[in-house]
Amino acid sequence: MLTVLTPGARTLVQDLGRDGQYAIGLPPSGALDQYSHRCANLLVGNHENAATLEIAMIGPALHCAEPTVVAVTGGDADVRVDGVPVSCWQTVEVPAGQVLQIGTLRTGCHAYLAVRGGIATEPFLGSRSTYQSSAIGGHEGRPLEAGDTLPVGDETDVFRPGVGSTVDPRLRPALGGHQRLRLVEGLCRHRFTDDSVREFFASTFTVSAESDRTGRRLTGPALRFVDREAPFGAGDNPSNVVDLGYPVGSVQVPNGEEAICLLRDAVTGGGYATIGTVVSADLDVLAQLKAPDTVHFVPVSLDQAIAARQERRDRVKHVRRGLRLLSLY
């Protein structure tokens, strides 16, 4: 059992998401940085889908009633056990009665705390992920508050890394700064002028402070439609289209001056023109960006997007294999 002493800026229970419900309008939710979530679980010997705590910017302080094995991945944070600093991306033991404190993130904007056995809140439609807009999943469908108690489950794997196990630094993601995002053109790309599309891929976009789990807002050059010479957004808005479905990662441009990349809490449909979709492998990168980080988009084919997804799966396999090798020494 974990008791929340201080909750942090926004700490949510998340797993890999509530897949299979998009058709009824329910977003998948789940960890925004799925790679870091998986690595945290592997470090403590959990199944990769076990629920973790997703930490935004400033982490919580948790009292551990029993001996607990934990790992913190994602953004680099100041992590302490009863005041003693410990490393991120490493398997750590917290003795019974001690306090695990996760401070301010130095890089990225999300960290993931895995506890051996997983956070065992009540599942909703097969997932423990929190979806705040509908107040479902997680702990009462909301961020943690001081005084909350979190049960620990038994979602462990046969293999359990020992204390001090780490993920090879070469397999840890580079966070923040300027990042490249691969994008498959499609959906409403034909509504934009060719010059505007070329400018979109040639430009740098800045992450806006007005970003959340629904989407990252990106400020950059104004885009133009084929049936309008001036940047749209004034008067009748040609960015409006017949309602269409949005996959996670879609980049919509509702006013021509701000691109919005939809993340895991985004709704499934809407009426804004969408220039393309960021490949799933790069959504982890996007999720860790905050203002004033910057990005540029690179066009890729569907085959290249599938290959990128396989590369990410291979990285997780390398993490798993490396942790197993460490246990032999």
pLDDT for residue 288 is more than 90 = yes
- At 215-269, the pLDDT tens digits run 999 999 888 888 754 444 444 555 566 667 788 999 988 766 789 999 999 987 7
Buried b (16+ CB within 10 A) or exposed e, 102-123: bbebebbbbbbbbbbbbbbbee
Our CA angle for 52, 81, 64, nearest 5°, is 55
Structural domains of the chain, ranges and CATH numbers in brackets: 2-174 (no CATH), 178-308 (2.40.100.10)
Query: pLDDT above 90 covers what percent of the chain?
Result: 77
Is 116 a residue whose pLDDT tops 70?
Answer: yes
pLDDT for residue 234: 40
Q: Given a cut of 70, is residue 92 above it in pLDDT?
A: yes
State the Cα–Cα distance between residues 307 and 309, nearest whole angstrom.
5
Q: Tell me, what amino acid is at 2?
A: L
pLDDT of 321 reads: 92
pLDDT value at 165 more than 70: yes
- Which residues of 170-214 form beta strands (DSSP E)? 178-185, 205-207
How far apart, in whole angstroms, are the C-alpha atoms of residue 179 and residue 193? 25
pLDDT bucket at 110, cuts 50 / 70 / 90: very high
181-224 pLDDT, tens digit per residue, is 999 998 788 888 899 999 999 999 999 998 899 999 999 988 88
Which structure tokens are listed for 92? 């750590």
pLDDT confidence of residue 301:
96
11, pLDDT greater than 90: yes
Tell me what the mean pLDDT of segment 81-109 comes to. Answer: 96
The strand order across the sheet containing 84-86 reads 84-86, 77-81, 99-105, 61-64, 2-6, 149-150
Beta strands in the chain (DSSP E): 2-6, 11-14, 52-56, 61-64, 68-74, 77-81, 84-86, 92-94, 99-105, 110-115, 149-150, 178-185, 205-207, 215-219, 240-245, 250-252, 258-262, 269-272, 274-278, 294-299
- Asked whether residue 155 carries a pLDDT value surpassing 80, the answer given is yes
Predicted TM-score (pTM) of the model is 0.93
What confidence score (pLDDT) does residue 232 get? 41
**All residues at 6 or more sequence positions from 217 whose CB lies less than 8 Å from its CB, including other chains:** 207, 208, 210, 211, 258, 259, 260
Q: CA–CA separation, 318 vs 253, rounded Å?
A: 37
Whether the predicted pLDDT of 327 surpasses 90 = no
SS3 for 97? Answer: coil
pLDDT score at 222: 86
pLDDT given at position 218: 94
pLDDT attached to residue 270 = 72
pLDDT above 50: residue 37: yes
pLDDT exceeds 90 at position 164: yes
Cβ proximity of 226 and 196 under 8 Å:
no
Interval 71-93 mean pLDDT: 96
Work out the burial of residue 170: count CB atoms within 10 Å of its CB; fewer than 13 is exposed, 13-18 middle, 19 or more buried.
exposed
SS3 state of residue 4: strand
pLDDT at 231: 46
Segment 298-311, tens digit of pLDDT: 999 999 999 999 99
